[in-house]
Amino acid sequence: MSAPSVENVSTPADKAKLALSVGLLIASVVAYYQLSAEGGWVQWAVLLACLAVAVVVFAFSLPGRRLWAFGQDAWRETRKVVWPTRKEAVQMTLYVFGFVVLMALFLWLTDKTLEWVFYDLLLGWKK
């Protein structure tokens, strides 16, 4: 059995892109707090602009492209799902609620029976 492979960013360009995107994320948070005297609109504009640039830089890296491809594959698989009709969903929900009620009754009866056996019959502790 072989060990699972770990993918690393191998090219210097991808490492630089990832470092730049992380740097932009940190810079956006720092700029947000440093610009507190400028007002809320300026803070949020700089924060969102830096975050957008960081996302774009990440998107052009190899891990970013792989993440985008994974998202597309996940969306494609989600579209293949056969969703139940409203009637089927309501029926299954009622089945689940019914099962929960039956299990609750079973567990309550089991608990009370064990309580009666141990405390009343074996130990003789009357309530």
- Say what the pLDDT of residue 8 is: 62
Please tell me the pTM assigned to this model. Answer: 0.55
The pLDDT tens digits along the chain (127 residues) read: 666 666 665 688 888 998 999 999 999 999 889 988 888 888 899 999 999 999 999 999 998 999 999 999 999 999 999 989 999 999 999 999 999 999 999 999 999 999 999 888 888 776 5
CA distances (Å), origin 66, targets 7, 8, 44, 118: 12, 13, 29, 61
The C-alpha atoms of residue 52 and residue 45 are separated, in whole angstroms, by 10
